[in-house]
Structure 1
Amino acid sequence: MVEPAAESYRYHSQGFDMTGALQPFGGRRMLRSSHAIAGALVIVAAACSQSNPITIAHTPTPLVRDSIIVTVINDHFYEARVHAVYGQGLRYPLGVMGMKRENGPFTIPWHIEELAFEIDMITISGRYVSDEIPVQPGDLVELRIPPNISSSAFFTAIRQE
């Protein structure tokens, strides 16, 4: 008869069998860790739901002189066409952002005016503009398009023409 390897015993002692399926033994320790993980996920979800959809990382030395770098994370279920818009109407197309994924990075020229983003949802009718944000040369800007953009306090719906 072949004895089980020490490695298989370690898996058993942690509450898993050889296939990785959870076993009923080890109960209280696993129950406590499950509650801790669930609690941590609730805290992270609450923090994410209240966060600003634009994050700016200031770099001490610009990566690209007189430019900023933009990454767009589209959490929406539809594709979106995004433009970077400066205060006096300068528009820079960033392109069509794929749904449920990170797009970019995109390098756009820096201007002294504040920056906003115009988002045109492709499949559904909806055009939105973000609040304006101040940016400096070399900033790394992350724009997150939320799945509930129509009820977002950061994005304002603008009329389709």
Structure 2
Amino acid sequence: MLDEVTDYYLNKEKANVESVFAVNGFGFAGRGQNTGIAFVSLKDWADRPGEKNKVEAITQRATAAFSQIKDAMVFAFNLPAIVELGTATGFDFELIDQAGLGHEKLTQARNQLFGEVAKYPDLLVGVRPNGLEDTPQFKIDIDQEKSSGAGRVY
């Protein structure tokens, strides 16, 4: 997926992009084999004249292109001027399972909230979860005694 993102910036936005640095397995929401992050360096402002070459326009085009990717959620955004104020513009909203109903119910509540928010696109824009989606994981227990007898060392 990171190859698709990198390819988009280096080919579709080549007039504006200097370079792309992509990292698989890490993102603002955490680490995992199903996450990634890419940092895009734009060419100097003097080399990007006109409204269509400003970061906002580039981000809008990228968002439209990435929305067509069905196998992943890809977000394009510009970092805030003061990085300590967050990883993007806006605010964080956290849901807490105070009743102890469990992960599945919390996820259902989150999805219901997103469904309601989507009804008001003029009030809240770019609402997205800030966490990792549930993915299959394996837990492997190795019997050290048996495996060492088989000539394997772990």
Short-chain TM bin = under 0.3
Using the size of structure 1 for normalisation, the TM-score is 0.24
Using the size of structure 2 for normalisation, the TM-score is 0.24
More strand by share: 1
Structure label with greater radius of gyration: 1
More helix by share: 2
